[in-house]
Structure 1
């Protein structure tokens, strides 16, 4: 199952730059692992913002929640998760490039 996910990060002013750097490094490492597993498929940055959109895969919405809520930046995220369904005119679906 695929999900379009929007993540907006707001760091509290009380968080030190050092702590933000630690969390960010842990986030990048976890993103690399999720990418290698095929859970994180694509990621786009919103220019000029601490925001991104990503294409993610998980077997169920519950599994997707578990993955997102385990991210190191979770406490500082506002997240929107949109489950996606195959559209009959999607060229990738017609060619078999994407999973059901």
Structure 2
């Protein structure tokens, strides 16, 4: 199954720049691992409001439980709210 995930990150007030940089670096490593495993297919940056930190991701997983395991393994999850939309194939999809 494929899932579109809207990921909105809110860094808590008082968090140091060093802490943010460290967790972002770990997030990048984990994203590469998930991509190599075939779980993370694509990432997009939608139009953002000033100060907004948001990403859209296309994930592949056997089911919602496996998707949750992937999302929970991402370091930024501690500050992130995820909205998951399961996707199903469209009969007129030009990519088929």
- So what's the TM-score if we normalise by structure 1? 0.88
Question: Could you say which residue in structure 2 is the equivalent of 1:97?
Answer: none
Matched, 1:53 2:56: yes
Q: How does 1:36-75 map to 2 (within 5 A)?
A: 36-48=36-48, 49-75=52-78
Moved over 3 A (4+): none
Q: Unpaired runs of 5+ in structure 2?
A: none
**What do the CA deviations read for 1:46-81 (whole angstroms, capped 9, x no partner)?**
244310111110111100011101110111001100
Question: Could you say which residue in structure 1 is the equivalent of 2:12?
Answer: 12
Question: Could you say which residue in structure 1 is the equivalent of 2:22?
Answer: 22
Across the aligned residues of Structure 1 and Structure 2, the Cα RMSD in angstroms comes to 1.0
* Aligned mates of 2:9, 2:82 — CA distance in 1: 9
Q: Unpaired runs of 5+ in structure 1?
A: 94-100
* Aligned mates of 1:51, 1:37 — CA distance in 2: 23
- So what's the TM-score if we normalise by structure 2? 0.91
